[in-house]
Amino acid sequence: MPLWKDGKLGLPVREAVKLFPELNDYLDERGRLDLSNRRARILYNRAIAKVLFGLEIEYHPHGLVTPPISRYLFLKTFLRGGEKVLEIGTGHTAMMALIADKLFDCEVTATELDEEFFEYARGNIERNGAKVRLIKSDGRIIRGVIPEGESFDVIFSAPPYYERPTKGVLTEREGVGGGKYGEAFSVRLIGEARDYLRPGGRVALFLPNKKPLIKAIVGRGEKLGYSVRDVKFKVGTRWRHSLILRL
């Protein structure tokens, strides 16, 4: 797996341009990529997915531009390989489901709410020859989506954490977080997950560096009987959290 910048995962822009020459249109005179441009971000992240992870990814025109490296680092905090896993809300890229299948050899089930995102996710799964089982969630989280009696080693999600949709970051369908800190979706997820986890099973949430949000979820998790571990990791200039709750 290619490494650069002191051994960290990454892909030099010059290498991405070789794969997608149209990225030249978004370079300044010093060869720096304009990552404020959505098209440039999509092309660069498609290059990263291809070179680092061997994945062919198509992005929805209006969906979140999912960075492959941050998702890989998140999965690496709790997957060891070969687990039976469930992803809640795989999104249009199905990025984490694909990485779990291809790089961690997991048995993957993934859900998605949005009809257009579901079709994009299915296309990405088929494009990469993945064995991911994709299920339409229709507004539910786990109950009413996953058959009763089915259980998993890990249930994970990158949950929506905004209290209302944020222009340019989340679509209206993605921005369904609620509660005082946008924690409502996560709290409901960890509550439902208890009935679908195998003994010693884990829930893992990919969260931003927002202390009130994390505190609210941790508090609820402990009341539900989970032991909680917070793994903080850096992606580029931003800190992210992998909140791992174990029964």
Confidence of residue 170 (pLDDT cuts 50, 70, 90): very low
Chain-centroid distance, C-alpha 77? 13
Through-space distance between the first and last CA atoms of the chain, rounded to whole angstroms = 33
69 touches 37 (CB < 8 A): no
Q: Smallest Cα–Cα separation from 100: which of 121, 120, 80?
A: 80
Per-range mean pLDDT, top range of 28-37, 39-48, 152-161 = 39-48
230 touches 218 (CB < 8 A): yes
3-state secondary structure of 99: helix
Cα→Cα distances 29→21, 26, 187, Å: 16, 10, 47
146 touches 109 (CB < 8 A): yes
Cα→Cα distances 205→126, 134, 144, 218, Å: 26, 19, 21, 11
Strand bridging mode 152-157 / 84-87 = parallel
Strand bridging mode 197-208 / 152-157 = parallel
**What pLDDT, on a 0 to 100 scale, did the predictor assign at position 161?**
56
Instruction: Tell me the domains of the chain and their CATH numbers.
Output: 3-53 (no CATH), 68-246 (3.40.50.150)
Model confidence at 32: pLDDT above 60: yes
Model confidence at 155: pLDDT above 80: yes
Length of the chain in terms of residues written: 247
**% of the chain with per-residue pLDDT over 70:** 88
Question: Average pLDDT of 173-194?
Answer: 77
Please provide the average confidence, as pLDDT, over all residues in the chain. 90
**What pLDDT, on a 0 to 100 scale, did the predictor assign at position 75?**
97
**Nearest 5 degrees, angle CA 139-CA 144-CA 148?**
155
Confidence of residue 174 (pLDDT cuts 50, 70, 90): very low
Classify residue 110 by its DSSP letter.
Answer: E
What's the whole-model pTM score? 0.91
Question: Average pLDDT of 94-117?
Answer: 97
